[in-house]
Chain A
Amino acid sequence: MSDTPAFSITTRDLNLWYAKFQALININVDIKHGIITSLIGPSGCGKTTLLRCFNRINERYTYVTTQGEIKLLGKNIYDPDVSLVELRKSVGMVFQRPNPLPISIYENVVFGIRIHNESRQSTRSDLDAAVEKALTEVGLWKDLKDRLNQRATGLQLEQQQKLCIARLLPLKPEIILMDEPCSALDVEGTRAIEELMFELKGRYTIVIVTHNMAQARRASDECIFMLMGEFIEHSPTAELFVNPKNPKTAEYIEGRYG
């Protein structure tokens, strides 16, 4: 297939089962490069599941079976020669609850560098530079530069979530997946994260799962609507909210499902 570089993520007939329960049914999506795409849909429709396919982290549950094809930047990630370590290096993930590791702020940011350069230790100054760069990018450097050795788990939730984004950056990911990154944050925190997403857009392809329709509307360029494990509609955000193609989408955005 001619892999159009415009698409970062392409899925073909993607099916996924949790044991006997089918959570994803024939998903075909094409997610464009360098923009923010949001995944919306009622609770339990499989948004998280789909997102967790893109870095194959679903496979940590032994009872998951996946069928179909997922192409990231033209490469099928289920090919036998794909290294999970490399895949996850180029696909970063931000979780619903901020989950910094219980080590210092500094170590959290360089964790990725350390695990990917196990044999060849980076010099201290390289690491310092990486920390400064990553924290500056997420806007934490000013606040935290004097307490990089404090435990990351003691930060405010908003700072923790930013740190979770910052620790992806030194690995230079192509794609950043976010699963309801603001659901644990207050209004201010939500705004800060959204602003950060705008900063990062362009350099990274961002896929964000959200429950919050206003957020999808504000923050994303394109929207994918899912229902009961099925793909329903994929349109530019403005169009999807004003002029939905599918009646089910219309019902959802009018608030008919929870």
Chain B
Amino acid sequence: MALPSLTGKSLRPARPLWAVCGEKMLELLIRFCGVSAIIFVLAIFFFVFKEAAPVLWSKNFNLTQFLCSPEWYPTSVSNVRYGVLALIVGTACVSGLAVFLAVPFSLGAAVFISEFCGPKLKEVLKIVIELLAAIPSVVWGFIGLTVTSKIVQQMTGAPVGVNILNGGIILALMCVPIIASISEDALKAVPDTYREAALALGATRWQIVYRVLLPAAKNGLLAAVLLGVGRAVGETMAVLMATGHAVNIPHGILDSVRTLTANIAAELGEAPAQSEHYRILFLTGILLFFITFVINVTADFVVRGIRQK
């Protein structure tokens, strides 16, 4: 195979050894980065489970009682009871309310930004939304504690301003930027040819939005909402400060509650390491892990189901 151009001087020399090795190293490093995500998740799960596990076999512990009893008296001297039902209900109420408030606003914002406003305003709004997303959660909690709680108290006449409504509002404000920016991406990803097709048939802007864009972008929009739900369930600092921190099955949105996350944050520091209380808090962590896992898997299935149709 003596191709003249390959035998002559024009043939480049083999690459030096260090370059070959360097490339191999780089490849290894990238591979490690890829796999590390899995390793970290497994490691975290393993650690949390290891801390919680012993309590599962202790004779004081009863899983039904843990999940179904609203009585949370972890430090009682005479009768220790670990029921997290009130905390589960608290989490569900606050995040449910937050998502309920946030979804219409954020979808509305996303539709406005991607379809209705001019290019200048669009830039401004996108920057503002990014700023909102960057506000630390403790600052939100602070606002919840001092600003919105007062407003809630004045508007509703509730005895305490830090309650489900207040927590829901703060959490909704935190979810809006996330849901809105991801929804806006989803709408932006709808090919412009669909808009032109509908427009050329005489559709109005609203008809384009709800007959073409929302159906075409529904996967992305659903993903956005579920990410918002994930955020709402997992958020800790702000709800700790804004919901009143009372272990209590609520009877209305003006009652104070405590959430799973806030409970862990508030009590773990005071629970003696390796004590039963400490292990129960880790178990609560596993419960949270489980809830978000279920949400994500459902999301995945829903999205896939829609795609197949």
Contact = CB atoms under 8 A, between A and B. Distances in A.
Interface residues of A, number: 29
Interface in A84-122: 84-89, 92-93, 95, 97, 99-103, 111-112, 114-116, 118
Contacts of A167: 201
A95 to B, nearest CB: 7
B246 interface: no
Q: Is the interface of B mostly helix, strand, loop or mixed?
A: helix
A60 interface: yes
B304 to A, nearest CB: 16
Nearest to A62: B118
A238 interface: no
A154 to B, nearest CB: 12
Given A62-B118, A103-B215, A57 B202 contact: no
A135 interface: no
Contact of A111 (B191, B211, B216): B211
A99 B211 contact: no
Of B194, B195, B197, B201, the most chain A CB neighbours within 10 A belong to B201
Contacts of A89: 201-202
A233 B186 CA distance: 46
A92 B207 contact: no
A101 B212 contact: yes
B204 interface: yes
A103 B214 CA distance: 12
A60 B193 CA distance: 13
A226 to B, nearest CB: 22
Nearest to B197: A99
Interface in B100-120: 118-119
B197 A85 contact: no
B125 interface: no
Nearest to A168: B201
Contact of B197 (A87, A95, A116, A171): A95
Nearest to A114: B211
A115 B119 CA distance: 27
Contacts, number: 64
Contacts of B118: 62
Of B191, B196, B197, B215, the most chain A CB neighbours within 10 A belong to B197
A88 B197 CA distance: 11
A227 B201 CA distance: 29
A101 B194 contact: yes
B199 A101 contact: no
Contact of B202 (A88, A95, A101, A102): A88
Interface string B166-202: 0000000000000000000000000101111111111
Nearest to A94: B200
B204 to A, nearest CB: 6
B211 A115 contact: yes
A118 B207 contact: yes
Nearest to B118: A62
B48 interface: no
Contacts of B119: 62
A115 B207 contact: yes
A164 interface: yes
Contacts of B203: 85, 115
B187 to A, nearest CB: 14
Given A88-B200, A112-B201, A99 B193 contact: yes
Nearest to B204: A85
A110 to B, nearest CB: 11
Contacts of B202: 84-89, 112, 115-116, 171
Contacts of B216: 101-102
A10 interface: no
A167 B119 CA distance: 32
B114 to A, nearest CB: 14
17 contacts: A57-B199, A60-B196, A88-B200, A88-B201, A89-B202, A95-B193, A101-B197, A101-B198, A101-B216, A103-B215, A111-B198, A112-B202, A115-B198, A115-B201, A115-B204, A116-B202, A171-B201
Interface of B: 118-119, 191, 193-204, 207, 211-212, 215-216
